[in-house]
Amino acid sequence: MLLMFNVDNITNEQVPFVIEKLMKKGAKNVHVIPSITKKGRQEHIFLVDLPKANVESVSNEIVRETGTIGIRILKEDHISYNYEFKKVKVELDSKKYDLKVKLIFNKNQEFLALKAEYEDIRLIANQSDIYSFNELKTIVESEVTKKIINQNIKVNLEI
């Protein structure tokens, strides 16, 4: 299920608090979009993804925390993909790290994509002065993808 509501009476500092409360009440994901309404008022549009069983508890929390007087229930279809987490070993500057990657598959269990887990990349990037977060994420995802699709891809750069 997807709930949508907007509020123009909370500060930017309150938004993360509301997100945290909704997640604790059973939301799977919360997105907040800043916007401008009539008369130039700032507002936040919230999109809350949640299981149907959690609609009442999450809706009550929305009203309690934001004072909104209405919540839209958006009817949507959702295409979900199978995924699994794998642990990979990364060696960087003579240090070894365990890092999780999420492997994403289609309905026939064919590999489609992967994502390195944010917290693991962040930890390694903070402990290293060699690579930025973006560089490390790109390198790890590229190397793991090459191993999974079992292709020896070579790129020659002329600089």
Whether residues 92 and 135 share a domain: the answer is yes
Whether residues 9 and 70 share a domain: the answer is yes
Domain count across the chain? 2
Per-residue pLDDT of the chain (159 residues; tens, 9 = 90+): 999 999 999 999 999 999 999 999 999 999 999 999 888 889 999 999 999 999 999 999 999 999 999 999 998 788 889 999 999 998 888 888 999 999 999 999 889 999 999 999 999 999 888 889 999 999 999 988 888 887 655 656 566
Cα-based distances in Å from 8 to 15, 23, 70: 11, 21, 13
Whole-structure pTM value: 0.65
Q: Which domain holds residue 63?
A: 2-74
